[in-house]
Amino acid sequence: MKLIIGLGNPETRYNNTRHNTGFVCIDAFAKEHDASFKLKEKFKSFIAEVSIDGEKVLLAKPVTFYNASGHSFRALIDFYKIEPEDVLVVHDELSLPFGTVRNRIGGSDAGNNGIKSINADGGTQTSRIRVGVANEHRAVTEAVDFVLGKFSKSEVTTLHESLVPKIMKSIESFISGSFEPTSFSLALDQPEE
């Protein structure tokens, strides 16, 4: 069994904010596999289930709010007896420019409070898809205001048309066991070295 967690905030006022990038990616993956989410209070998440090549996969969108995502992570891995190595977290990354996607396995939180919460609940060995959200406004905007700010129309289009398809391929590679640390940038339109 694999667990894919998308990070975000549950209220509709956070739709299209940078902090809800993980939700956008998980929603697209669920839609691709004809899965629908249902609120499961005991897991503090919206949950969808899919089966891919015989592998059961849980998709989770925590309702704990971004900075407390570890509570949902812990409830899920404890109940389903999932090892952290079988968990993938998809999240926005303030330290990467918009259009950059980096896959990594384990590591520090790099200042991301959602990852900090997951790491505190035993998730230091989870795999991650880090989706860059920084743009030219980042330097003049407080971090909290920036991540809770909405994407521009052109960024929404780029996210859905160019980035999400690549992220979905990374999710599939995680499920199949071929996930590796890689980096991609739309600015280069090719993998980074």
Q: In whole angstroms, how large is the CA radius of gyration of the chain?
A: 15
91 is catalytic: no
C-alpha 183/C-alpha 193 separation (Å) is 8
C-alpha 77/C-alpha 87 separation (Å) is 9
Strand ranges across the sheet with 55-62: 38-40, 45-52, 55-62, 2-6, 87-97, 127-134, 100-105, 182-185, 190-191
- Catalytic-role residue among 19, 71, 91, 160: 19
Asked if residue 70 lies in contact with residue 121, where contact means CB atoms within 8 angstroms, the answer is yes
Active site positions, annotated:
19
